[in-house]
Amino acid sequence: MERISWHQYFMAQSHLLALRSTCSRLMVGATIVRDKRIIAGGYNGAISGGVHCIDEGCYVIDDHCVRTIHAEVNAILQCAKFGVATEGAEIYVTHFPCLNCCKALIQAGIKKVYFAANYKNHPYAEELFGQAGVEFEQVELEEMILDVNNKEKLRFTAELLSHLESLGLEQSELKRLSDTANKLYTSS
Protein backbone atom coordinates (compact mmCIF):
# COMPACT_ATOMS: atom_id res chain seq x y z
CA MET A 1 0.00 0.00 0.00
CA GLU A 2 1.33 3.43 -0.94
CA ARG A 3 1.18 6.07 1.77
CA ILE A 4 0.08 9.62 1.03
CA SER A 5 2.66 12.40 1.07
CA TRP A 6 3.10 14.70 4.06
CA HIS A 7 1.72 17.60 2.02
CA GLN A 8 -1.43 15.64 1.17
CA TYR A 9 -1.78 14.43 4.77
CA PHE A 10 -1.66 17.95 6.25
CA MET A 11 -3.76 19.50 3.48
CA ALA A 12 -6.40 16.80 3.98
CA GLN A 13 -6.42 17.72 7.68
CA SER A 14 -7.06 21.36 6.77
CA HIS A 15 -9.94 20.40 4.49
CA LEU A 16 -11.37 18.27 7.28
CA LEU A 17 -11.12 21.22 9.69
CA ALA A 18 -12.92 23.42 7.14
CA LEU A 19 -15.96 21.17 7.52
CA ARG A 20 -16.35 22.61 11.07
CA SER A 21 -16.61 26.16 9.70
CA THR A 22 -19.75 28.08 10.62
CA CYS A 23 -19.36 30.75 7.93
CA SER A 24 -21.75 30.22 5.05
CA ARG A 25 -19.70 32.31 2.59
CA LEU A 26 -16.47 30.26 2.56
CA MET A 27 -15.34 27.27 4.61
CA VAL A 28 -11.63 27.49 5.44
CA GLY A 29 -9.38 25.22 7.48
CA ALA A 30 -5.78 25.65 8.66
CA THR A 31 -3.25 23.27 10.19
CA ILE A 32 -0.02 24.48 11.83
CA VAL A 33 2.81 21.96 11.62
CA ARG A 34 6.31 21.76 13.07
CA ASP A 35 8.72 18.92 12.32
CA LYS A 36 5.94 16.94 10.59
CA ARG A 37 3.75 17.15 13.70
CA ILE A 38 0.43 18.93 13.93
CA ILE A 39 0.60 21.56 16.67
CA ALA A 40 -2.75 23.32 16.06
CA GLY A 41 -5.73 23.55 13.78
CA GLY A 42 -8.40 26.12 13.12
CA TYR A 43 -11.40 26.92 10.99
CA ASN A 44 -13.28 30.12 10.33
CA GLY A 45 -16.14 30.75 12.70
CA ALA A 46 -17.61 32.99 15.35
CA ILE A 47 -16.09 33.65 18.75
CA SER A 48 -16.66 30.91 21.33
CA GLY A 49 -20.27 31.09 22.46
CA GLY A 50 -21.10 33.73 19.85
CA VAL A 51 -23.72 33.87 17.12
CA HIS A 52 -22.76 31.87 14.02
CA CYS A 53 -23.23 32.82 10.37
CA ILE A 54 -25.04 29.54 9.73
CA ASP A 55 -27.61 30.59 12.35
CA GLU A 56 -28.17 34.28 11.59
CA GLY A 57 -26.30 34.95 8.35
CA CYS A 58 -22.99 36.63 7.75
CA TYR A 59 -22.34 40.08 9.16
CA VAL A 60 -20.76 41.71 6.12
CA ILE A 61 -18.88 45.03 6.16
CA ASP A 62 -16.90 46.12 3.08
CA ASP A 63 -17.48 42.71 1.47
CA HIS A 64 -15.98 40.84 4.46
CA CYS A 65 -17.78 38.79 7.08
CA VAL A 66 -16.72 40.40 10.36
CA ARG A 67 -18.52 37.83 12.49
CA THR A 68 -15.85 35.20 11.89
CA ILE A 69 -12.31 34.72 13.06
CA HIS A 70 -10.31 33.36 10.15
CA ALA A 71 -8.95 29.81 10.26
CA GLU A 72 -5.31 30.89 10.32
CA VAL A 73 -5.88 33.24 13.25
CA ASN A 74 -7.89 30.60 15.12
CA ALA A 75 -4.98 28.17 14.73
CA ILE A 76 -2.47 30.78 15.94
CA LEU A 77 -4.72 31.66 18.89
CA GLN A 78 -5.00 27.98 19.79
CA CYS A 79 -1.20 27.88 20.04
CA ALA A 80 -1.20 31.03 22.20
CA LYS A 81 -3.93 29.68 24.46
CA PHE A 82 -2.05 26.46 25.15
CA GLY A 83 1.50 27.86 25.17
CA VAL A 84 2.72 26.28 21.93
CA ALA A 85 5.37 28.23 20.02
CA THR A 86 4.67 28.99 16.35
CA GLU A 87 8.16 30.32 15.54
CA GLY A 88 9.56 28.38 12.57
CA ALA A 89 6.37 26.39 11.95
CA GLU A 90 4.54 25.84 8.67
CA ILE A 91 0.84 26.22 7.94
CA TYR A 92 -1.43 24.37 5.53
CA VAL A 93 -4.51 26.37 4.54
CA THR A 94 -7.38 25.48 2.23
CA HIS A 95 -7.30 28.97 0.65
CA PHE A 96 -4.66 31.63 0.11
CA PRO A 97 -4.53 33.80 3.26
CA CYS A 98 -6.13 37.24 3.26
CA LEU A 99 -3.99 40.29 3.89
CA ASN A 100 -4.71 40.38 7.65
CA CYS A 101 -3.99 36.67 8.05
CA CYS A 102 -0.80 37.12 6.05
CA LYS A 103 0.38 39.73 8.58
CA ALA A 104 -0.64 37.54 11.53
CA LEU A 105 1.26 34.56 10.09
CA ILE A 106 4.37 36.68 9.61
CA GLN A 107 4.18 38.04 13.17
CA ALA A 108 3.62 34.52 14.55
CA GLY A 109 6.90 33.41 12.97
CA ILE A 110 5.39 31.00 10.45
CA LYS A 111 8.13 30.24 7.92
CA LYS A 112 6.16 28.56 5.11
CA VAL A 113 2.55 28.76 3.91
CA TYR A 114 1.03 25.97 1.86
CA PHE A 115 -2.38 26.70 0.36
CA ALA A 116 -4.72 24.54 -1.72
CA ALA A 117 -6.74 27.12 -3.63
CA ASN A 118 -6.13 30.62 -4.85
CA TYR A 119 -8.64 32.99 -3.27
CA LYS A 120 -8.45 36.70 -3.92
CA ASN A 121 -4.66 36.50 -3.62
CA HIS A 122 -3.63 40.04 -2.74
CA PRO A 123 -0.37 41.18 -4.35
CA TYR A 124 0.55 43.06 -1.18
CA ALA A 125 0.20 39.86 0.85
CA GLU A 126 2.64 38.18 -1.51
CA GLU A 127 4.96 41.20 -1.22
CA LEU A 128 4.81 41.07 2.59
CA PHE A 129 5.57 37.35 2.58
CA GLY A 130 8.59 38.13 0.41
CA GLN A 131 9.79 40.93 2.68
CA ALA A 132 9.50 38.66 5.72
CA GLY A 133 11.17 35.69 4.02
CA VAL A 134 8.02 33.59 4.30
CA GLU A 135 7.75 31.09 1.48
CA PHE A 136 4.34 30.22 0.05
CA GLU A 137 3.42 27.37 -2.25
CA GLN A 138 0.25 26.00 -3.72
CA VAL A 139 -0.38 22.36 -2.78
CA GLU A 140 -3.77 21.29 -4.04
CA LEU A 141 -5.51 18.45 -2.26
CA GLU A 142 -5.67 15.35 -4.42
CA GLU A 143 -9.17 14.37 -3.36
CA MET A 144 -8.91 10.90 -4.88
CA ILE A 145 -6.37 9.92 -2.22
CA LEU A 146 -9.12 10.18 0.37
CA ASP A 147 -11.20 7.59 -1.49
CA VAL A 148 -9.87 4.15 -0.54
CA ASN A 149 -11.64 2.60 -3.55
CA ASN A 150 -10.49 5.13 -6.15
CA LYS A 151 -8.44 2.68 -8.23
CA GLU A 152 -11.31 0.23 -8.37
CA LYS A 153 -13.74 2.99 -9.39
CA LEU A 154 -11.40 4.20 -12.13
CA ARG A 155 -10.90 0.63 -13.39
CA PHE A 156 -14.66 -0.06 -13.35
CA THR A 157 -15.40 3.15 -15.24
CA ALA A 158 -12.78 2.33 -17.88
CA GLU A 159 -14.19 -1.21 -18.26
CA LEU A 160 -17.74 0.14 -18.52
CA LEU A 161 -16.77 2.64 -21.22
CA SER A 162 -14.87 -0.06 -23.10
CA HIS A 163 -17.88 -2.39 -22.92
CA LEU A 164 -20.20 0.36 -24.20
CA GLU A 165 -17.79 0.93 -27.09
CA SER A 166 -17.78 -2.79 -27.95
CA LEU A 167 -21.60 -2.72 -27.97
CA GLY A 168 -21.46 -0.05 -30.66
CA LEU A 169 -22.36 3.08 -28.71
CA GLU A 170 -21.97 6.15 -30.93
CA GLN A 171 -18.54 7.77 -30.63
CA SER A 172 -20.08 11.14 -29.78
CA GLU A 173 -22.05 9.63 -26.87
CA LEU A 174 -19.03 7.61 -25.75
CA LYS A 175 -16.91 10.79 -25.77
CA ARG A 176 -19.57 12.63 -23.76
CA LEU A 177 -19.64 9.87 -21.11
CA SER A 178 -15.84 9.70 -21.03
CA ASP A 179 -15.57 13.48 -20.62
CA THR A 180 -18.17 13.42 -17.83
CA ALA A 181 -16.28 10.64 -16.02
CA ASN A 182 -12.99 12.53 -16.37
CA LYS A 183 -14.58 15.68 -14.90
CA LEU A 184 -15.97 13.70 -11.96
CA TYR A 185 -12.63 12.10 -11.19
CA THR A 186 -10.52 15.23 -11.61
CA SER A 187 -12.73 18.00 -10.20
CA SER A 188 -11.67 19.76 -7.03
Residue 2 annotated among the catalytic residues of the structure: no
* Cα–Cα distance for residue pair 31/10, rounded to 1 Å: 7
The secondary structure of 85-139, three-state, reads CCCCCEEEEEECCCHHHHHHHHHCCCCEEEEEECCCCCHHHHHHHHHHCCEEEEC
* Cα–Cα distance for residue pair 136/140, rounded to 1 Å: 13
Is the distance from CB of 20 to CB of 124 less than 8 angstroms? no
**Amino acid code (one letter) for 142:** E
Is the distance from CB of 91 to CB of 113 less than 8 angstroms? yes
Out of 72, 87, 126, 140, the active site residue is 72
Closest CA to 146 of 115, 118, 185: 185
Residues belonging to the active site:
72
